[in-house]
């Protein structure tokens, strides 16, 4: 692999955009697969080779389902299940959301059959890289959560883990010599400061020391210089932000009307506007709390 070195004037696309993150790590190439394996191995603390990635987002032209998260769901050669994602602006419910999807990831395994037991269940890791928002009150940027008894500090020693990286907590770490950084620290610094030209020298020092980040950089550099691919990713991200903004506005207007017409009418108005924007029924159910039958009646015009 050719040596990667970023110049001061290289205009890099921000890998903290979740769709860019996925475009880099989930490509069907040996380079992206190797980079993803390096990242996951560093974050879980042991070597792991990604074997396959599940496609879990709609086609580019399927606009109605674009609110889906750009997470990367993959399986290791040794069977472990990993879901990893970058979240630029996570909401306040992110911790419970991570718990929910970790459970789904773990319980989605099939151990039916006379030759199977619970011991055949593989480890499940939900990894969230939180780009901006600070979630936990301490100054620790990396947390690993598992089931345990908090009263007696006894771990269940189960097979589920939630790993979070908070990129907002790297103020002191970025000042460390690159040779003194742990694998987790250097990945976090790489993600956080990649597009900061004042830190370009630090990023290049990291690239010289670690092959995984050099692999990521090679893919990212190609995307950044490919005008068509860059425009597509930015258009995709713009659509997500525009839809999110319209839904928030619809929600605010709906609640305002709800004060006048009653809470139920307000939620119905939110649903009506969200459906008009092309949102799925499941997504509308999530943001309004209305039942699916009511939402379908709104969609078909039976409820006005």
Q: What is the pLDDT of residue 254?
A: 62
End-to-end CA distance of the chain: 61
By percentage, how much of the chain surpasses pLDDT 70?
Answer: 82
Q: Which two tokens stand for residue 144?
A: 């690993």
Kindly tell me the burial class for residue 34, based on how many C-beta atoms sit within 10 Å of its own C-beta (0-12, 13-18, 19 or more): middle
Q: Which two tokens stand for residue 122?
A: 């593989």
Q: What is the pLDDT of residue 253?
A: 66
Local confidence band at 67 (pLDDT 50, 70, 90 cut-offs): very low
| pLDDT tens, position by position, 99-137 | 999 999 999 998 888 888 999 999 999 999 999 878 888
pLDDT of residue 196 exceeding 80, the answer is yes
Q: What is the pLDDT of residue 88?
A: 80
| pLDDT tens, position by position, 243-254 | 666 666 666 666
What are the boundaries of each domain within the chain?
18-225, 233-299
Q: What is the pLDDT of residue 241?
A: 62
Q: What is the pLDDT of residue 222?
A: 84
| pLDDT tens, position by position, 220-251 | 888 887 766 666 666 666 666 666 666 666 66
Contact, 167 vs 151, CB < 8 A? Answer: no
| pLDDT tens, position by position, 29-44 | 888 899 999 999 999 9
Size of the chain, expressed as the number of residues it contains: 304
């Amino acid at each position: 692999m050719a040596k990667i070195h970023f110049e001061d004037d290289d205009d890099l696309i921000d890998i903290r955009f979740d769709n860019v993150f996925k475009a880099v790590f989930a490509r069907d190439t040996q380079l992206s697969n190797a980079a993803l394996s390096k990242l996951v191995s560093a974050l879980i603390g042991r070597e792991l080779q990604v074997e396959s990635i599940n496609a879990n987002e709609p086609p580019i032209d399927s606009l109605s389902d674009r609110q889906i998260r750009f997470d990367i769901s993959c399986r290791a050669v040794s069977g472990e299940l990993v879901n990893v994602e970058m979240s630029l602006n996570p909401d306040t419910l992110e911790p419970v959301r991570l718990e929910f999807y970790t459970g789904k990831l773990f319980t989605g395994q099939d151990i039916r059959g006379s030759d199977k037991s619970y011991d055949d269940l593989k480890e499940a890791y939900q990894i969230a890289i939180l780009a901006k928002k600070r979630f936990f009150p301490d100054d620790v940027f990396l947390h690993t959560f598992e089931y345990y008894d908090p009263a007696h500090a006894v771990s269940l020693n189960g097979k589920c883990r939630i790993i979070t990286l908070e990129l907002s907590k790297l103020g002191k770490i970025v000042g460390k010599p690159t040779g003194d950084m742990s694998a987790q620290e250097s990945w976090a610094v790489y993600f956080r400061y990649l597009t900061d030209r004042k830190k370009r020298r630090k990023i290049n020092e990291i690239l010289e020391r670690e092959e995984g980040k050099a692999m990521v950089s090679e893919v990212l550099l190609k995307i950044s210089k490919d005008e068509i691919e860059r425009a597509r990713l930015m258009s995709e991200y713009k659509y997500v932000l525009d839809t999110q903004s319209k839904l928030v506005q619809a929600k605010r207007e709906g609640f305002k009307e709800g004060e006048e017409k009653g809470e139920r009418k307000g939620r119905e108005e939110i649903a009506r506007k969200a459906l008009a924007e092309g949102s799925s029924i499941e997504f509308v159910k999530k943001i309004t709390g209305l039942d699916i039958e009511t939402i379908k009646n709104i969609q078909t015009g039976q409820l006005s």
